[in-house]
Structure 1
Amino acid sequence: MQERILGRTGVPVSVIGLGAWQLGADWGRVDEEAALATLSAAHEAGVTFIDTADVYGDGRSERIVGQFVRSLPDGRRITVATKMGRRVPQEPRHYNLANFRAWNDRSRENLGVDTLDLVQLHCPPTEVYHTDEVFDELDGMVAEGRMKAYGVSVETTAEALAAIARPNVASVQIIFNMLRLKPLDEVLPAAEKAGVGIIARVPLASGLLSGRYDEHTTFGADDHRTYNRHGEAFDQGETFSGVDYATGLAAVRRLAALRPEDATMAQVALRWIIDHPAVSVVIPGARNAQQARGNAEAASRPPLPPETHEAVTVVYDELVRGSVHDRW
């Protein structure tokens, strides 16, 4: 498994990580046995970075990840990134030291550690990125030993650029995939220049880029791909990358023509992301061990040829750009 440095943390991590949202909630039920098997398969495939959040299943994801990491022998280091901030109404006033400490205490308890590897503000209100006191408080928590480093998870490229300009932000997590190319314009170059890590999330556009879905696919009532298609519960961009489902299917059918015979569409989509050196780690989710292993295998594939990258841009420009590029 190839490794890259995770921005200002200075820590090497596997270029393919694991997003643990699915193991908590909002993607249909994943029982604990299956969740632990998924984590084990990812680890065996060389994954050394797991991304979770305090709000995934109201702490369930953190607890399962913590249980798994504690079960590993001391010789294999896993970096666990978590997030905080979505447990309260999304108003800037809630981003204060008292809440930070309470959220931090809860995550440390859930994960079973004294010091968290990386804590990310979880897509906070835009005003938060411009509030000096917020980042002063985060600096203080690092100094106290509550966490080793902090970063942000963002919805928009403007938020990402504001975060990159902060001197102690270690990483920026942003949606980046074949259907969301805007980070290429400014965010990835700025992050690379500043030495800030990029964590690419929603890499398969909520599964669209796996190529497994069609017009007849249905999702459970407890799956955000049912209840958040139009942003009813949280930012619309988190579901299918904000792309209209029918448009997404049409784009993926064209992109599928780029797939080598010995690769899955998901592996091509992940390889496309890690072909960009500014990306530190990409965090596909997985609901079972087979998916986790398949995702990890993308790291061992050769880089995609230039004509494939050019074709992705053409599909984006013709089908997707008009509906998403200026929104995020």
Structure 2
Amino acid sequence: MKQRILGRTGQSVSQIGFGAWAIGGTWGEVSIQDAEAALHAALDAGITFIDTADVYGDGRSEKIIAKVLNERGGERPYVATKLGRRLSPHVAQGYTAKNLNEFIDRSLENLQTDSLDLVQLHCPPTEIYYTPEVFSVMDDMVAAGKIRHYGVSVEKVEEGLKALEFANVSSIQLIYNIFRQRPAELLLHEAKRRDVGIIARVPLASGLLTGKMRADTAFSADDHRAFNRNGEAFDKGETFSGVPYDVALDAVEDIRRFVTGDVTMAMFALRWILMNENVTVVIPGSKSKAQSEANARASEIAALSDETMIALKSIYQEKIAPWVHQRW
């Protein structure tokens, strides 16, 4: 597994990580046994970066991670979690020192550790990026030893650019995939210039870029791909990257002709992201041992050709960009 440095943290991490949203919830039923097997397989494959959040299954994801890591012992992978979305309502006024510290204390307990490697503000209201007092609270928690580093998980490119103005932001997590190419225009370059790590989430566009979905694919009622297509529960960009389902399926067929040999479309889509050296780590989700193993193999496949990269950019500009480019 190839490694990259996570910005100013100086931490070397695997370029393919483990996204732990799916083992928490809102991706359909995943048993504890399957969740643990998926995480074990990822770690066995050389993955050293895990991304979770306190709201994934109301702490379920964090607790599963703690259990697996305690069982394995030895050197721990780098674990990033998030805070803020437990607020109800989720408004900027709730980002107080008291609330943030309570969230951190809960994650410390769930992950069974004395200090958190990386904590990310979890897609906070845009107003937070204009509230330096919140970032001062994060600085205080670093000084207290509760957390080692902090970053932000953003919905919009503009939020990421604003976050870069805060000197101690160590990472930015954002949606970046074949269907969401705008970050490469400016944000990824600026993050690299300022030594801020980039964590690419939703890399497979909620499974669309696996090439396995069809017009009649059914999703369970507790799967966000069934209940959040129009942003009913949270930002719709988190579901299918904000692309209308039928539009995305059509584009997937155009992409499929560039996927050859024994490379799956999912591996191909992950490798596309890694072609940008300004990305530190990609965090595909996994609900099974087989998915974890396949995701890890994306680190090994050959680089995509210039011709392929140009063709994928053209598909994006023609079919996808009108739906997403200026929205996020």
Tell me the TM-score range normalised by the shorter chain: over 0.9
Distance 2:272 2:165 in 1: 27
State whether structure 2 residue 114 is matched by structure 1 residue 114: yes
Q: What code does the residue aligned with 1:79 have? A: Y
Distance 1:318 1:108 in 2: 46
Q: What code does the residue aligned with 2:210 have? A: S
Q: What code does the residue aligned with 2:209 have? A: L
Q: What does residue 86 of structure 2 align with? A: 87
Pairs aligned (count): 327
State whether structure 2 residue 150 is matched by structure 1 residue 135: no
Distance 1:4 1:130 in 2: 30
Distance 2:70 2:9 in 1: 22
CA-CA distance at 1:134 after TM superposition = 0.7
CA RMSD of aligned residues (A): 0.7
CA-CA distance at 1:256 after TM superposition = 0.7
Q: What does residue 275 of structure 1 align with? A: 275
SS of residue paired to 1:103: helix
Distance 1:164 1:309 in 2: 28
CA-CA distance at 1:281 after TM superposition = 0.2
Q: What code does the residue aligned with 1:261 have? A: G
SS of residue paired to 2:280: strand
Q: What code does the residue aligned with 2:101 have? A: R
Distance 1:272 1:4 in 2: 16
CA-CA distance at 1:216 after TM superposition = 1.2
Q: What does residue 185 of structure 1 align with? A: 185
List per-residue Cα deviations over 1:137-166 (Å, max 9, x = no partner). Answer: 100100100000000000000000011121
SS of residue paired to 1:232: coil
List per-residue Cα deviations over 1:117-145 (Å, max 9, x = no partner). Answer: 10000000001011111111100100100
Q: What does residue 37 of structure 1 align with? A: 37
TM-score by length of 1: 0.99
SS of residue paired to 1:173: strand
State whether structure 2 residue 67 is matched by structure 1 residue 67: yes
Deviates more, 1:63-72 or 1:95-104: 63-72
SS of residue paired to 2:58: helix
Distance 2:285 2:197 in 1: 19
Q: How does 1:158-177 map to 2 (within 5 A)?
A: 158-177=158-177
List per-residue Cα deviations over 1:19-62 (Å, max 9, x = no partner). Answer: 00000100011111111100010001110000000000000000
Distance 2:166 2:189 in 1: 16
SS of residue paired to 1:300: coil
Q: What does residue 18 of structure 1 align with? A: 18
Q: What does residue 229 of structure 1 align with? A: 229
CA-CA distance at 1:309 after TM superposition = 0.8
Distance 2:254 2:291 in 1: 23
Distance 2:246 2:252 in 1: 10
Q: What does residue 4 of structure 1 align with? A: 4
SS of residue paired to 1:149: strand
Q: What code does the residue aligned with 1:153 have? A: S
CA-CA distance at 1:248 after TM superposition = 0.5
Distance 2:94 2:8 in 1: 27
TM-score by length of 2: 0.99
CA-CA distance at 1:73 after TM superposition = 2.6
State whether structure 2 residue 318 is matched by structure 1 residue 318: yes
Distance 2:300 2:53 in 1: 28
SS of residue paired to 1:38: helix
Q: What code does the residue aligned with 2:141 have? A: M
Distance 1:80 1:39 in 2: 12
Gaps of 5+ in 2: none
Q: Which runs of 4 or more aligned residues in structure 1 lie more than 6 Å from their structure 2 counterparts after TM superposition?
A: none
Q: What does residue 285 of structure 1 align with? A: 285
CA-CA distance at 1:77 after TM superposition = 2.9
Distance 1:150 1:170 in 2: 6
Distance 1:110 1:181 in 2: 35
Q: What does residue 256 of structure 1 align with? A: 256
List per-residue Cα deviations over 1:87-135 (Å, max 9, x = no partner). Answer: 1122111111101110000000000001001000000000101111111
